[in-house]
Amino acid sequence: GAVVSQHPSWVICKSGTSVKIECRSLDFQATTMFWYRQFPKQSLMLMATSNEGSKATYEQGVEKDKFLINHASLTLSTLTVTSAHPEDSSFYICSAPTGNIQYFGAGTRLSVL
């Protein structure tokens, strides 16, 4: 199957700082990528749809200014958690579709102290 790489896998930051998470499609091009958030022992919640060369589409209730998404190329999307606070601590996962199938990154565990 297709490979999606996500980096970093784990990040710890101080409250008030910003953190950038990268999502790359390694062996295919993705004009669209998806960003999810997962709380412990819960399912995945779609946060936003990242579009190459245009603005991201955010799901209802997701703060656009808090979670900045950039999709600058056909293989890279980034999620920046701005001015992070402890309540932003979570597991963030990206995915990229090819055909009718979404392939997922390994996820990023964000801990905000």
Partner 1 sequence: AQSVTQLDSQVPVFEEAPVELRCNYSSSVSVYLFWYVQYPNQGLQLLLKYLSGSTLVKGINGFEAEFNKSQTSFHLRKPSVHISDTAEYFCAVSVFSGGYNKLIFGAGTRLAVHP
16 forms beta bridges with: none
The structure tokens listed for 87 are 């309540």
DSSP-derived letter for residue 59 is P
101 binds partner 1 (CB under 8 A): yes
Among 42-50, 62-70, 72-80, 81-89, the segment contacting partner 1 (CB under 8 A): 42-50
DSSP-derived letter for residue 54 is S
Q: State how far the Cα of 63 lies from the Cα of 7, in Å rounded to an integer.
A: 22
Among 14-22, 43-51, 64-72, 81-89, the segment contacting partner 1 (CB under 8 A): 43-51
- Site residues (CB under 8 A) for partner 1? 1, 4, 6, 9, 32, 34, 41-44, 46, 49, 57, 91, 93, 95, 97, 100-107, 109
